[in-house]
Structure 1
Amino acid sequence: MVAQRHVLMVVTSHGEMPTGERTGIWLSEFAEPYEVFRASGFKITVASIKGGKAPIDPRSLTAEAEAKWAEAIRVLDDTVPIDAVSADGFDALFLPGGHGTMFDLPGSVKLQSLIRTLIESDRPVGAVCHGPAGLVDVRLSDGTHLVKGRRVTAFTNEEERAVKLDQAMPFLLEDRLRQAGAAFIPAEKWADHVEVDGKLVTGQNPQSGESAARKLAELVASA
């Protein structure tokens, strides 16, 4: 009998932009992958940078979304602090997006360590939209950037400017990934677009969350 697969989802704890505008997780980018993993029969642990209740971007929290994803919202009320998490026992890691990720995922040394450990032990890592902010500062044991030479995608400069938040971000994600040596592959804005390079799966935008999660689930199931 095959043991139940276990996926770690890591979300932002950052709920406010420098402008004072509320931010956090973009709900669909968490909820759609959560439902994919649940339907795949995976055990799911949800962690955040600080633990506790994770902030949801109010722009993504419509009445329809609240009704559709009530279970996913409930799970976000009580997340595990990332410092309490070990890579042991996890078959994959997934980073949902939301503008909050840009402020606290890149600086998390623990997150970098978890990602490095999973990738170097041939376990898949996925991220969608702004979730790849958690990849930009990850270095492998030999000191090279995780994304160097890898095909990746993420929320593009064009998309950031389209939502008029490029000036509110600490950096532009596409630029930072390119600077780290990634082979960044953009599609048309708002297109459902996923890149898979080995065990690294990245999705471009909110439209790509379910597709990215399905690709990650396929890698987990085939391991």
Structure 2
Amino acid sequence: MDPTYKALIVCTNHTDYPTKPHKTGLWLSEATHFYDELADRNIPYDIASPNGGSVPIDEKSFDRRDNVNEKWYNDPTFRHKLEHSLKLEDVNPSDYQIIYFTGGHGTMWDFPNNQQLQEITRHIYENGGMVAAVCHGVSGLLNVQLSDGSPLIDNRQITGFSNMEEKLVRLDEEVPFLLEDALKQKNALYSKSLIPFLPYIEVDERMVTGQNPLSARKVGRKVIEEMYEK
């Protein structure tokens, strides 16, 4: 009998770049590909965001050739959860054994300094749960402190969207900071794939991080493996 786990998938509400006309938001595959792995185990889940309500989706992430995006975006339950996400203040962290930070550039504005997010993360982690994040969503881990005051990511193996990837998508001038630099400044042991945009994950105890959108499925798979097969 599988233990009963429940996952909290956290998404951004932020849509605007300082100068670019197009909108940001959730990078869709970072939610769908991760969840696709959980769905195989029938793991229940909720979707939450800092303000609750409708999660904006980065228009550039609607890839019509992506069957997994199609499958879940058109799934009534998943879609409803995306369009009616829980407010962080309404989340009871004791209900969850997995927290997963999706990416999309929007997260760089509304994840790092959100204290509710930090408290939820700390609670889940300190109660033996898994903390997972992908791409820009890793920014949500930057300021998480454990009960003893130590930073969650201090001296921990971690990855996230790289400086080179940010330059290649030409958004390095738009974001409030570069994630790779910020992680290193926090004394995280940052690493990345030699070639940009290839799947790459890091695992450190109960923390799993992925570098970029293509890493989301690997993060999901690793979370399941760590929770069920240890």
Same fold by TM-score, threshold 0.5 exceeded? Answer: yes
SS in 2 for 1:201: strand
Does residue 57 of the first structure (1) align with residue 50 of the second (2)? Answer: no
How many Å separate the matches in 1 of 2:131 and 2:138?
10
Match of 2:181 in 1: 175
Does residue 203 of the first structure (1) align with residue 210 of the second (2)? Answer: yes
CA deviation digits over 1:73-130, x for unaligned, max 9? Answer: 4431111111100111211111111001101011210000011112222211000011
SS in 2 for 1:76: helix
Farther-moved stretch of structure 1 (196-205 vs 72-81): 72-81
- The share of aligned pairs that are identical, in percent, is 37
User: Do 1:7 and 1:45's aligned partners in 2 also have CA atoms closer than 8 Å?
Assistant: yes
Match of 1:128 in 2: 134
User: Do 2:46 and 2:81's aligned partners in 1 also have CA atoms closer than 8 Å?
Assistant: no
Equivalent residue in structure 1 for 2:157, among 151, 155, 174 = 151
- 1:17-166 → structure 2 map (5 Å cutoff): 17-19=17-19, 20-65=21-66, 67-69=70-72, 70-71=74-75, 72-166=78-172
How many Å separate the matches in 1 of 2:188 and 2:47?
27
Farther-moved stretch of structure 1 (10-19 vs 58-67): 58-67
What amino acid sits opposite 1:42 in the alignment? Answer: I
Deviation of the 1:2 alpha carbon = 4.1
SS in 1 for 2:36: helix
User: Do 1:38 and 1:44's aligned partners in 2 also have CA atoms closer than 8 Å?
Assistant: no
State the superposition RMSD in angstroms. 1.5
Deviation of the 1:62 alpha carbon = 3.4
User: Do 2:15 and 2:56's aligned partners in 1 also have CA atoms closer than 8 Å?
Assistant: yes
How many Å separate the matches in 2 of 1:112 and 1:93?
11
SS in 2 for 1:177: helix
CA deviation digits over 1:28-84, x for unaligned, max 9? Answer: 001111111111210011111111100000001134446343224443111111110
Q: Which runs of 5+ in 2 are unaligned?
A: none
How many Å separate the matches in 2 of 1:222 and 1:87?
23
Farther-moved stretch of structure 1 (64-73 vs 147-156): 64-73
How many Å separate the matches in 2 of 1:13 and 1:46?
12
What amino acid sits opposite 1:5 in the alignment? Answer: Y
SS in 2 for 1:195: strand
Farther-moved stretch of structure 1 (188-197 vs 67-76): 67-76
Does residue 221 of the first structure (1) align with residue 221 of the second (2)? Answer: no
How many Å separate the matches in 1 of 2:95 and 2:205?
21
SS in 2 for 1:130: helix
TM-score (norm 1): 0.95
SS in 1 for 2:166: helix
TM-score (norm 2): 0.92
Deviation of the 1:3 alpha carbon = 4.5
